[in-house]
Amino acid sequence: MSLITSFEHRADRAASYKTTHTCGWFYANHPKQGRILQLETYTKDGSTGQVFQFDRRSATELLAIIAEVFPADD
């Protein structure tokens, strides 16, 4: 599991994918970080693949990135 603490724009990357996955999500209250959003993908056998966790600060930053990439007027 990884608590995302910062984001870095990487203009040197190309977006591509080989497979598609379902992304599960839930949230819980952490005693130190407060509410944590967890996103997770699953392998073919149903076990958890990757896990990303966001606290309020990193979720707010992610929302700003999403708004920049997908502006409302598109």
Domain count across the chain: 1
Cα atoms in the Cβ-side hemisphere of radius 13 Å centred on 64: 10
In a domain, 5, yes or no: no
Residues spanned by the domain of 63: 22-74
**Res 13: pLDDT:** 93
pTM summary value:
0.83
In a domain, 4, yes or no: no
Tell me the pairing of strands 48-54 and 2-3. Answer: parallel
In a domain, 30, yes or no: yes
In a domain, 57, yes or no: yes
**What's the rounded mean pLDDT across residues 41-60?**
93
In a domain, 9, yes or no: no
In a domain, 13, yes or no: no
**What's the rounded mean pLDDT across residues 44-59?**
93
**Res 7: pLDDT:** 94
Average pLDDT over the chain, rounded to whole?
92
In a domain, 47, yes or no: yes
In a domain, 69, yes or no: yes
